[in-house]
C-alpha cells in the first residue's frame, strides 16, 4: 500500500479516536482553567503531552507550584508506558525505516493509536500512524483549549460540576480491566489506600504533590511487577486477543 493510501487509512481510523479525545480533553481543560492556564497554553500543553493521566499529573504539578524538574519527572514516569509501546511498534515497521520517521511515529503514540497501529496486519507503514495522529492529536489539543475557554466564561457552579467528569473518566478507565484481572484490582485498591494514607499523614506538602505522585508510582509499580509478574504465555495471549478482535 502506498504512503498516501496508508495515511488516508490511518486518518479514517483516527476519527473515532479524535471524537473520544475531544470529550476527555474538554474535561482536562476545565481543570486547567481552574489553575490559571490560558487556552493557548492548554493547547500547546496537550499538543506535546497527549495523554490523559500524564497531562492530569502535569496540571496537578503546576497547581502545586512544583519545579520544572518535578513536572518533567512526574510526566515522564506517568507516561513511561509509551516507551514500551513504541518499542513494540518498532518491531512492526521495516528495518530500513529512517530514524526521523521512527521518531515522529513514537511522538504520536497513545494507548488508542498504539492499538490501531498494532492491530494492522503484517508490517506497519509509519504513514498509517501519521494519519491517525494527524486527526487525533489536534482534536485532543483543541478540546483542552475549548475546555479552558468554557471554564473561563461559565459560572463557577457549572465549572465545578463539569470537573467531576474528569474523575468519571478515570473510573471508566480502571473499572473494566480491574473486573477482568484481580492483580489490577488489588493494585488499584492499594494505590487508593496508599495515596489516602500518605495524604492523611501529611508526609508531602501541597507544594510537593508531584513528588508524591512520582514516588508512589515508582514504588507501587515496582511492587506490582515483583508480586504479579507478567508471564510470557500471558503476553502471547494478549497479542493474540488484540489481533483477533480486529479480525
Residue 238 reports pLDDT greater than 90: no
Rounded-to-integer distance, Cα 91 and Cα 89, Å: 5
Q: What is the mean pLDDT of residues 184-212?
A: 74
Rounded-to-integer distance, Cα 98 and Cα 107, Å: 14
Name which of 2-6, 38-42, 56-60, 224-228 the model is least confident about. Answer: 224-228
Domain borders along the chain are 3-246
What would the pLDDT profile of 37-53 be if each residue is shown by its tens digit? 999 999 999 999 988 88
Rounded-to-integer distance, Cα 6 and Cα 28, Å: 31
Residue 245 reports pLDDT greater than 70: no
Residue 132 reports pLDDT greater than 50: yes
Nearest to 142 by CA among 131, 150, 154: 150
**Which carries the bigger pLDDT value, residue 169 or residue 91?**
91
Percent of the chain predicted with pLDDT > 70: 81
Q: What is the mean pLDDT of residues 118-141?
A: 92
Distances (CA, A) of 175 to 71, 171, 179, 180, 242: 27, 6, 6, 9, 19
Counting every residue written for the chain, the total comes to: 247
What would the pLDDT profile of 72-83 be if each residue is shown by its tens digit? 888 888 888 888
Residue 86, Cα to own-chain centre: how many angstroms?
Answer: 13
Q: Which three cell numbers stand for residue 208?
A: 510537593
Amino acid at each position: 500500500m502506498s504512503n498516501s493510501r496508508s495515511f488516508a487509512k490511518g486518518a479514517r481510523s483516527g476519527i473515532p479516536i479524535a471524537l473520544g479525545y475531544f470529550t476527555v480533553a474538554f474535561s482536562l481543560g476545565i481543570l486547567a482553567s481552574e489553575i490559571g492556564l490560558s487556552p493557548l497554553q492548554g493547547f500547546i500543553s496537550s499538543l506535546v503531552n497527549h495523554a490523559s493521566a500524564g497531562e492530569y499529573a502535569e496540571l496537578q504539578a503546576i497547581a502545586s507550584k512544583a519545579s520544572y524538574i518535578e513536572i518533567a519527572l512526574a510526566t515522564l514516569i506517568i507516561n513511561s508506558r509509551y516507551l514500551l509501546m513504541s518499542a513494540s511498534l518498532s518491531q512492526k515497521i521495516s528495518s530500513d525505516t529512517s530514524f526521523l520517521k521512527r521518531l515522529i511515529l513514537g511522538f504520536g503514540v497513545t494507548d488508542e493509536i498504539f492499538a490501531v497501529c498494532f492491530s494492522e496486519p503484517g508490517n506497519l507503514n509509519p504513514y498509517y500512524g501519521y494519519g491517525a495522529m494527524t486527526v487525533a492529536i489536534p482534536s485532543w489539543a483543541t478540546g483542552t483549549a475549548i475546555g479552558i475557554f468554557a471554564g473561563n466564561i461559565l459560572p463557577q457552579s457549572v465549572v465545578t460540576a463539569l470537573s467531576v467528569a474528569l474523575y468519571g473518566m478515570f473510573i471508566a478507565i480502571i473499572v473494566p480491566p480491574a473486573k477482568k484481572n484481580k492483580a489490577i484490582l488489588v493494585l488499584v485498591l492499594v494505590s487508593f489506600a496508599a495515596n489516602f494514607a500518605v495524604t492523611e499523614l501529611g508526609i508531602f506538602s501541597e507544594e510537593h504533590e508531584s513528588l508524591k505522585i512520582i514516588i508512589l508510582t515508582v514504588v507501587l509499580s515496582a511492587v506490582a511487577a515483583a508480586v504479579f509478574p507478567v508471564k510470557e504465555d500471558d503476553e502471547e495471549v494478549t497479542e493474540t486477543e488484540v489481533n483477533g478482535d480486529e479480525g
